[in-house]
Amino acid sequence: MARFSARGLALLLPWLTACSAPAQNKPAPPAAAPAKAAPAPAPVAKVEEPVRVAPTRPVAPVLWPTTTLRGADYVSLRDIAKRFDLKATWTKADTVLKLGDARGPQFVFEANQKDFYLDGLRVFLGTPAVLHKDSLWISLLDVIKIVAPLGRPADHAAQLPATVPKTIVIDPGHGGADPGTLNPKLGLNEKTLTLDVALRLKKILEPRGWRVLLIRDKDTELSRDKKKDLLMRDEFANLNQADLFLSIHFNSAGPAVTGVETYVLAPQFMLSAGDESGDDMTKVAYPGNRLDYANLAFGEQLHRAMIGGLKTSDRGYKHARKAVLRMLDCPGALVECAYLSNDAEARRVATPEYRQQIAEAMAEGVANYAAALAALRPAAPLEPVKVK
């Protein structure tokens, strides 16, 4: 894929992902059995094999009109509004443009900002929105990989897993020799808190029918080599044929910063959050990128549930090339539940009640993802049709 130009590839992306997005890295479900093994019929006119209709909808080719800005293809938010049947209104002249109507999704974009709001949720683009003529414009890659599938997820149903998710691998970040981030004043370390939340989440999910596997259930690392340790977490999920992967972390920044951040794998060519120029990794299509649309759907549900459940600051739903997300064969997300560097928030995290709330919010995100999948998944395959 790296041989295509960025522009050519962007145009091809809907088809490429449609072709390459595996439902799961699992054997295909057995073909629907023909009605019953009929007793040997008398030889009649030749009956052809049952026709099995592919359980996917064709992906409508979406060719967004583009203009070259800053050396890349950009799409006007007015064209997105038109396509999605939404009204585009400036709420602050030439700065804040709102797309929405009474029923549909509400988007709020701001000039020169990477973040936008979708129904109140803070989502980050790969590159900022740009003011041009009478509209804000966003990059074609951001449209294809973030804005369009979040606004109209049904258009990408064919690219979502076609099986009900059952096995979830939970990754309590860090462990053993790697304590993660610390709050020495309160005697907190990340590795202990991630494990505690993971164990709580397991307890919530198992009675709900999930098969829950933990990367670790005690204070240990998978490898002393950090790079290897992270790769082994992906491998654990892949070997266990996980349907979903959730990595739990706690954050660190300036002392005033609080809230939740959620990450999914950045699509090929999209800048990782916080990266302004890109590097060789930006050009790579990782195994996890086969599931860009499922990652996006899972991350959205998870972030929404965390923000709603914890009533904390929204630090944003972001894309990055996190090592634990790159090699996954299933949708995955990484959530930074709170900032240990903020004493007030760290004190909350130190209470079992708040950690239980975190686990409950995560469980809700997982359930909402499964429900969204069930609602979006293409209709079950048609019964075999015998053609005379």
Interacting residues with Zn ion (CB under 5 A): 173, 180, 249
- In the complex, what is the shortest distance from the CB of residue 278 to Zn ion, in angstroms, rounded to a whole number? 24
Measured from the CB atom, the residue of 249 and 321 that comes closer to Zn ion is 249
Distance of alpha carbon 2 from its chain centroid, rounded? 22
Measured from the CB atom, the residue of 122 and 249 that comes closer to Zn ion is 249
d(C-alpha 338, C-alpha 259), whole Å: 5
Closest CA to 262 of 151, 181, 338: 338
- In the complex, what is the shortest distance from the CB of residue 3 to Zn ion, in angstroms, rounded to a whole number? 35
Measured from the CB atom, the residue of 249 and 318 that comes closer to Zn ion is 249
d(C-alpha 164, C-alpha 154), whole Å: 17
Measured from the CB atom, the residue of 216 and 249 that comes closer to Zn ion is 249
The SS3 of residue 231 is helix
Q: How many residues does this entry show for the chain?
A: 388
Q: Which residue is closest to Zn ion by CB? A: 249
Label residues 156-193 b or e (16+ Cβ within 10 Å = b).
bbbbbbbeebebbbbbbbbbeebebbbbeeeebbbbbb
- In the complex, what is the shortest distance from the CB of residue 318 to Zn ion, in angstroms, rounded to a whole number? 15
Measured from the CB atom, the residue of 124 and 250 that comes closer to Zn ion is 250
- In the complex, what is the shortest distance from the CB of residue 335 to Zn ion, in angstroms, rounded to a whole number? 10
d(C-alpha 306, C-alpha 261), whole Å: 9
Measured from the CB atom, the residue of 249 and 319 that comes closer to Zn ion is 249
- In the complex, what is the shortest distance from the CB of residue 311 to Zn ion, in angstroms, rounded to a whole number? 23
Closest CA to 156 of 231, 56, 10, 26: 56
If one counts every other C-beta atom within 10 angstroms of the C-beta of residue 343, the result is: 13
- In the complex, what is the shortest distance from the CB of residue 190 to Zn ion, in angstroms, rounded to a whole number? 5
